[in-house]
Amino acid sequence: MSLLLPWAVLSVILLISCLLSIILIFRQRRLNEIKNDFVSNMTHELKTPVSTISLAAQMLGDPAVSKTAETLKYYTRVIVDETKRLSFHIEKVLQMSTFERGNGNLKLTETDVNELLNMILDNFWVKVHAKHGQLRTEIQATDPFVLVDETHFTNVLYNLMDNAVKYTPTNLVLTVKTWNEKGNLCISIQDNGVGIKKEYQKRIFDKFFRVPTGNVHNVKGFGLGLAYVKQIVDAHHGTIKVESEVNIGTKFIITLPTLKNN
């Protein structure tokens, strides 16, 4: 009996280490898959606008191509639009690394979120309009003052609104609201798009996670936007939650302590 006991303990230890190795191998494999997906997405997203810009520039420089006012306008617009698309993608990748490189430091200033949102929406409605969508606002928080890093927090709001546009294929209605609740300021950004299945809702804030495309959507991206959003909201001691239903839409709600409550 006394001889059997050390063997039993040894077998259990061996079994546990085997199991741990298997888990590690699977995790490593999953990480490699995620990394490869990211690189191929990123390459695709950057290559497409670059080749379109290069083609348009070649057309402009080609003496054989007629240069009417209309064609000149067309190629110039292609170059401007594609350059914007390119910088949008680069910006998305840089946002997170800028925050991480700065060791998560924030430059907090007293900010009126109602004012900030109205300013952002002044520029953003163009994107909604381009999709023949509607913008509805109820920016009604009576105490809108919070301590935020304006650069990062503006990126957060843009990321959520960009996603609303990206993941609503038709008849977009973007609804933006602010209100106060239990000494906090709440902001909601809601769309009527493809929605997110329950099983994926917890994972969308993970770095590089994208809802598997399949028949859900075929929108390209890097799976970094929401991970950055969550990092920034956490760094402001706030919370973010998602409410979503497939084919009905998605609502993100951010809650931040108001200045009085800090």
Beta carbon nearer to ligand ADP, 149 or 191: 191
Beta carbon nearer to ligand ADP, 146 or 211: 211
> Quick check: helix, strand or coil at residue 236?
coil
Q: Assess 124 for contact with ligand ADP (CB under 6 A).
A: no
User: Min. distance of Cβ 156 from ligand ADP in angstroms?
Assistant: 11
What is the amino acid identity at position 228?
Y
Binding residue for ligand ADP, selected from 164, 176, 185, 233, defined by CB under 6 A: 164
CB-count exposure of residue 247 (10 Å: 0-12, 13-18, 19+): exposed
Q: Assess 158 for contact with ligand ADP (CB under 6 A).
A: no
Q: Assess 45 for contact with ligand ADP (CB under 6 A).
A: no
Beta carbon nearer to ligand ADP, 125 or 209: 209
Q: What is the CA radius of gyration of the chain?
A: 24
Q: Assess 210 for contact with ligand ADP (CB under 6 A).
A: yes
Binding residue for ligand ADP, selected from 56, 156, 194, 232, defined by CB under 6 A: 194
User: Min. distance of Cβ 175 from ligand ADP in angstroms?
Assistant: 12
Q: Assess 193 for contact with ligand ADP (CB under 6 A).
A: yes
Are the C-beta atoms of 249 and 195 separated by less than 8 Å?
yes
Residue 138 bridge partners (DSSP):
177
Are the C-beta atoms of 184 and 143 separated by less than 8 Å?
no
CB-count exposure of residue 99 (10 Å: 0-12, 13-18, 19+): buried
User: Min. distance of Cβ 210 from ligand ADP in angstroms?
Assistant: 3
Residue 163 CA to residue 88 CA, distance in Å, equals: 13
Dihedrals phi, psi of 238, to nearest 5 degrees: -110, -175
Binding site for ligand ADP (CB under 6 A): 163-164, 167, 191, 193-196, 204, 209-211, 221-227, 250
